Amino acid sequence: MRPALLAILLIAQPALAGFDGVWLDLTHSFNRAAIYWPTADSFEKTVVAEGETDKGFYYSAYNFRAAEHGGTHVDAPIHFARGMRSVGQIPLEQLIGPGVVIDIRPQAEENRNYQATVEDIKAWESEHGPLPEGAIVLFNTGSSDLWPDKERYMGTAERGADAVAKLRFPGIHPNAARFLANERNIKAVGLDTPSIDYGGSTLFETHQILFKNNIPGIENVANLNALPAKGFEVIGLPMKIQGGSGAPLRIVAFLPNVR
């Protein structure tokens, strides 16, 4: 059996491995309220058919359109690194693995442009032990509680290029990204804001550092407040867009309880 398929089966069917547990959805719903980058097309759903047919049965179908980068989504490395993986090239197992949550809510509440630091990561490790091998590292800034209020969540509800300069939200400091890429063996990083770089970034250094190492970024994650610091598995399955720089993502966590 292929390793990726075996991993999915072991995580998706934990009873086979002798575990019970709880599933938690970490995905915001895609709808008209979903938050997108100010210059990106927002989610739009239109009705093709909805109702009883002339043959007596109910039928519904819809079209949707949206940018790659909005709502809960994954940034593929090619988004900021030439020649790195597109979203369709991200291995299945790279978005499946042990999850950790690094809680930076107090810092982010004090400073909406806070950037998670190497010290934040080391403080987590001092309390909980080393980051697991192949970890999916999630930073909880508390921003999910502000969804879908665009002004509170990202600093502005305005649209267009001029709105980008008004963005304010927490992110991950480039030094922390460099530390994770070079000093720890992780699969992916994510957080509950529109970008892994903070709102005021113009160089997007955290994107560049991680993506040059083929480490994807997960943005606009939901429900991180409901997760413990460690001891859960993450499964992220993006839309497989050939050549895509990102894609909508269904991401879930499994919290096992040993029988």
Q: What is the pLDDT of residues 158-206, one digit of tens each?
A: 999 999 999 999 999 999 999 999 999 999 999 999 999 999 999 999 9
Window from 9-23, 58-72, 106-120 with minimum mean pLDDT: 9-23
| Cα separation values, 82 from 87, 149, 215, Å | 13, 34, 13
Q: How much is the pTM?
A: 0.92
- What pLDDT is stored for residue 17 in this prediction? 52
Q: Which of 34, 225, 251 is nearest to 145 (CA)?
A: 225
The Cα 38–Cα 79 span in angstroms is 17
Residue with tokens 């080391």: 122
Counting residues of the chain whose pLDDT is more than 90, the rounded percentage is: 91
What's the mean per-residue pLDDT of the chain? Answer: 94
What mean pLDDT is predicted for residues 121-147?
Answer: 99
Q: Which residues contact 56 (CB under 8 A, 6 or more apart)?
A: none
- What pLDDT is stored for residue 13 in this prediction? 46
Q: Could you tell me if 252 and 235 are in contact, meaning their C-beta atoms sit under 8 angstroms apart?
A: yes
What mean pLDDT is predicted for residues 84-99?
Answer: 98
- What pLDDT is stored for residue 20 in this prediction? 86
Q: Residue 123, SS3? A: helix
Q: Each residue of 27-49: pLDDT tens digit?
A: 999 999 999 999 999 999 999 99
- What pLDDT is stored for residue 209 in this prediction? 99
- What pLDDT is stored for residue 10 in this prediction? 52
Q: Could you tell me if 176 and 115 are in contact, meaning their C-beta atoms sit under 8 angstroms apart?
A: yes
The Cα 169–Cα 193 span in angstroms is 7
Is 3.40.50.150 the CATH number for 21-35+67-256? no
The residue type found at 46 is: T
Query: How far out from the chain centre does Cα 170 lie?
Result: 14
Structure tokens at 35: 């938050």
Torsion on CA atoms 141, 147, 149, 152, rounded to nearest 10:
0
**Residue 5 reports pLDDT greater than 80:** no
Structure tokens at 118: 């190497």
What mean pLDDT is predicted for residues 136-148?
Answer: 98
**Residue 243 reports pLDDT greater than 60:** yes
**Residue 7 reports pLDDT greater than 90:** no
The Cα 71–Cα 104 span in angstroms is 21
Task: Determine how many CB atoms are found less than 10 A away from the CB of residue 134.
Answer: 14
Banded pLDDT at 16 (limits 50, 70, 90): very low
Structure tokens at 83: 């020649």
**Residue 121 reports pLDDT greater than 80:** yes
